[in-house]
Amino acid sequence: MSDPTEQLVYSHKNNRQIALYAMPRFGINIFIGIIDFALFFLYEDVYNLDPLLVGVGSMLGKLSIALSNFFLGWISDHTKSPLGRRKPYLYLMTPLLAVFYLLLLLPGLILGANPTENKLFLWFVTFNCLSQAFYAITIIYHSWTAEQFPSSQRPRVSAFQNGFNFLGTTVVVLFSMLVLTDVKDEIQLNPAQIPREYLVSVIIFALILVGLVYVTTTVMPVEQTPRYTTKLLDDLRVIIRNKNLILVCILQGICSFAWAMISALLLGYTENVLKLEGSTYIIIAGAMISTMIASLFVWEKYIRRQGKEKALARVFIIGIIVTPFSLLGYFHFSASIAFALPFIIALAIAMGGWYLFPYIIYADIAEKDMKETGELKAGIYMGFPSIILNIFQAFSLLLTGWITGINRSVANVPDSEPFSIGFLLWGPIASLILIISFFYAKKFVKLDFNNRNQENSK
């Protein structure tokens, strides 16, 4: 019986080809950022939808992500067409995602200025769930990594993808500062009248999303994999029995408590605790994003030389050491760029390293499973973890909200606005979570597989 990896046509691709594959993350990340705006500000503050109903609609959206990611990952694994397994879904689902995204962001165009609460809630739930469900194109897209790139190139692919992620985040930050600041007041005054700059911006973002996915889908070759006829429940049993996959999912879930907290609070910590604003705040935000982008490629080289397990351990160690320094925000001297800049940069280095791993590890585990079963089911291996991760992420957001909502307030600068003591405590809490993650990973998780097809990049 031939080695099943021979069914794949791998070729080491240059940086231009990798960038072409990675660039849809730019449009996708803009989409995510603007959707966050829509869920909270637009429906709760502008249209005065009951916060409980916003919470219910958001929860239903998370459930639709979990279900669609798993189901569509499995469906794409079992698709046979002249365009292969992934391309048909990317071509069909991306424009529909953009349409649902526009309808979610622009309810006033159809519902008018004063829709009833029932109509608004139904609109929100419908298009939030559809948008989140069709967001499963990202699972199909990331499943392609295992079929397009050998294991040795996947860290670089992930570095490029995260680089485009951070560029998308930069656009969202600039859009929030330059457009949304004025647009919020205009929409609140007249919800039926959509400001032109907002309308044009979201349409451009939708076109970017569709355009980049279409370019990548068109230029990438059709993967060479056989058709699979196994049933959904049989595949699910195989997934559940894959002990290492489950252990990796749990690791990522545990980590999400720390990384979600750091991501959500870092710039807020800079503003509320370190009292940095204006041009200084922009410098700090720019330093964080540029450091993350640069660190991606440093970590990518480290992974190729030392392996994923050692690299992940170093990421945890940096996070464990640096996060407790948030406590220094209690002292007056911390309210300066001299403290903020090295603190933010050190955390950005750790975050950049962590963000590399999710795009790599599930493709590697799927390929290892192929050696044992003869079938590469990258779609279901990318989709299944979302069920577990969405549960962990929901609780991680709850923990973050609880920490920053602690009633006891402190002030580190005389005559300044006090802040919740939770803005100091998040660092030691995150460090404790990362300590648990470090020892858990060291004891239970395997990320470096002996793979005949792995080649050392030079």
Give the pLDDT confidence score for residue 458 in this predicted structure: 37
CA end-to-end span of the chain: 32
Residue, of 232 and 251, whose pLDDT is higher? 251
Which of 73-82, 92-101, 286-295 is modeled with the greatest confidence? 92-101
Residue 36 has pLDDT above 70, yes or no: no
| Range 137-157 average pLDDT | 88
Residue 40 has pLDDT above 80, yes or no: no
pTM of the entire structure?
0.78
Which helix (H) or strand (E) segment holds residue 409: the answer is strand 409-410
| Range 308-330 average pLDDT | 95
Q: Where in the sequence of the chain do the CATH 1.20.1250.20 domains occur?
A: 1-229, 230-458
One-letter identity of residue 108? G
Q: How far is CA 147 from CA 50, 103, 365, 369, in A?
A: 45, 34, 13, 13
Q: How far is CA 105 from CA 33, 45, 127, 236, 448, in A?
A: 12, 14, 9, 35, 43
| Range 124-128 average pLDDT | 90
DSSP letter at 27 equals H
Residue, of 148 and 383, whose pLDDT is higher? 148
Which helix (H) or strand (E) segment holds residue 327: the answer is none
Give the pLDDT confidence score for residue 453 in this predicted structure: 41
Whether domain 230-458 has CATH 3.40.605.10 = no
Pick the CATH number of 1-229 from 3.20.10.10, 3.40.50.2000, 3.40.50.300, 1.20.1250.20: 1.20.1250.20
Tokens standing for 163?
Answer: 């680089």
| Range 194-215 average pLDDT | 89
4: pLDDT confidence band, cut at 50, 70 and 90? Answer: very low
Give the pLDDT confidence score for residue 455 in this predicted structure: 40
Distance (Å, whole) CA 436 – CA 258: 11
Averaged pLDDT score across all residues of the chain: 83
Which helix (H) or strand (E) segment holds residue 110: the answer is helix 108-111
Three-state DSSP at 222 gives coil
Nearest alpha carbon to residue 158 among 344, 312, 368: 312
Backbone angles phi, psi at 19, to 5 degrees: -65, -40
